[in-house]
Amino acid sequence: MNPRVKNAEYLLGNKLKIEFRNGECKIFDFSSYLEYPVFGPLADPEFVKTLTVQQGTVCWGNEIDFDPDTLYLDSTPLMEFQAD
């Protein structure tokens, strides 16, 4: 099992900065998920800003969330992201 989310914040450009419980910080780009209807509301930055962290993952109300393993495995370590 991968580490769970401790904190998250929205960054411009469909990205989230995520701090995991193991101390790692990563950047998750959710751009590719916007093509799926369930994630459509995430195209609105004001909606994305309403995120919360619940039970180790990032959520928007009771309607949208990401699997915490997806957040961990499909994100880029912060150091690599800054080097790009």
Region 65-83: mean pLDDT is: 86
Report how far apart, in Å, the C-alpha atoms of 79 and of each of 10, 40, 51, 83 are: 17, 29, 24, 6
Give the pLDDT score at 79.
76
Give the pLDDT score at 76.
95
Taking the model in full, what pTM does it have? Answer: 0.90
**What's the CA gap between 79 and 82, in Å, rounded?**
5
Q: Which domain holds residue 62?
A: 5-83
Give the pLDDT score at 80.
61
Number of domains, the chain: 1
pLDDT in tens, 49-65: 999 999 999 999 888 99
Q: What CATH number does the domain containing 42 carry?
A: 3.30.2020
